[in-house]
Structure 1
Amino acid sequence: MTRLHTYPTVVTWTGNKGTGTSGYRDYGRDHELSADGPPVIPGSSDPAFRGDPARWNPEQLLVGSLSQCHMLWFLHLCSTAGVVVTAYVDRAVGTMAETADGGHFTEVVLRPEVTVAAPEMAETAMRLHTDAHKACFIASSVNFPVHHEPVVRVQDAGAS
């Protein structure tokens, strides 16, 4: 049986400088992304497209979504496999090609750096990255490759 989930969001444009979209340079790209519950995310376009670099752009949010989804599945799989993860950071990078008719992502590379509690957990942790990728709802929904370059370290026995 298929279960359906919906994710309602609201995007509100806040970039009207008084004359609306009367000209390409006459309006701001600022907007807000909201949903019931979490705080508002201030958004804009990429600075290359007249956006505000202090605000999140859609491209960053897409890369962040892929990274979050992978991490959440990985942590779940580790917990059920008896792998104790004590730290996780991913410095993901997405690449977009701008073309005459718009643009498209060509790839995203996830670079998770994982720390596990014991040496015997490292090999399983490394393998679980493949399983997490297969399970990730976001990765299975995009039409470009999502690569992984994981690093697994063992927690220093003297660390607390």
Structure 2
Amino acid sequence: MPPRTKSWTYETNLNWTQELEGSLGSSGLPALGFGAPPEFAGKPGQWGPETLLLGAAEACTLLTFLSLCRRKNVQHLSYRSTATGTLALDSEGLIRFTEIVVRPVVQVKSQADADTARALFLDVPKRCFVGCSLKAEPRIEPTIEVVSTP
């Protein structure tokens, strides 16, 4: 029996609003204003394709990790992260992300959960669909902290 294929389709819509700005939406979701960043002749203080892509990689890292934690019964107390991405000219003269680094900091209750959490982060890059869809595979550099409860 051949394996069952799963697929999902998502849709967005976009409206140009002015100059280098627009509004991004999807059915049932609030609109998100965006624009070019200052380094590409845009205004400061708005989401741009660069930060949205980086945020998507960071969010996918979290959600993939949480899914794996649920499967392995790892109890985490907190999760926060930062991410950096480098846009640069590649060898073909195209601007693209050449590096993405996600740095999660996870707190857990026990050393056993810390060991399992570290192992789960090794699986995240091959299970996070955003990272798998990018040329620059995100590198994940987790910090796991054991927090004793009183």
Equivalent runs, 1:86-125 vs 2, <5 Å: 86-98=77-89, 101-125=93-117
- Using the size of structure 2 for normalisation, the TM-score is 0.91
1:2 aligns with 2:2: no
- Secondary structure of the corresponding residue to residue 129 of structure 1: helix
Q: What does 1:41-52 correspond to in 2, within 5 Å? A: 41-52=32-43
Match of 2:62 in 1: 71
Identity, in percent, stands at 35
Q: Is the 8 A contact 2:125 2:137 kept in 1?
A: no
Q: Does 1:155 align with 2:147?
A: yes
The one-letter code sitting in structure 2 at the alignment partner of 1:76 is S
What is the CA deviation profile of residues 70-108 of structure 1, one whole-angstrom value per residue up to 9, with x for unaligned ones? Answer: 110101111211210111111011110147954111010
Unmatched runs of 5 consecutive residues or more in structure 2: none
Matched residue SS, 2:95:
strand
CA shift at 1:57, angstroms?
A: 0.3
Q: Post-superposition shift, 1:113?
A: 0.4
Aligned length: 146
RMSD, matched Cα? 1.5
* In 1: Cα distance, 2:115 partner to 2:99 partner: 26
Higher strand share: 2
Shift of 1:54: 1.7
Residue of structure 2 equivalent to 1:36: 27
Query: Counterpart of 2:129 in 1: which secondary structure?
Result: coil
Q: Which protein is bigger by CA-based radius of gyration? A: 1
Could you tell me how far apart the structure 1 residues matched to 2:16 and 2:116 are? 46
State the distance in 1 between where 2:94 and 2:34 align: 20
Separation of aligned partners in 2, 1:117 and 1:58: 37
Segments of 4+ moved more than 2 angstroms: 98-102
Q: What is the SS of the residue equivalent to 2:20?
A: coil
- Deviations along 1:28-82, one digit per CA (max 9) or x if unpaired, are 2110110011111110011111212221000101111111111101011112112
Aligned to 1:126: 118
1: distance between equivalents of 2:107 and 2:83?
Answer: 17
Q: Tell me the residue number matched to 2:129.
A: 137
Aligned equivalent of 2:53: 62
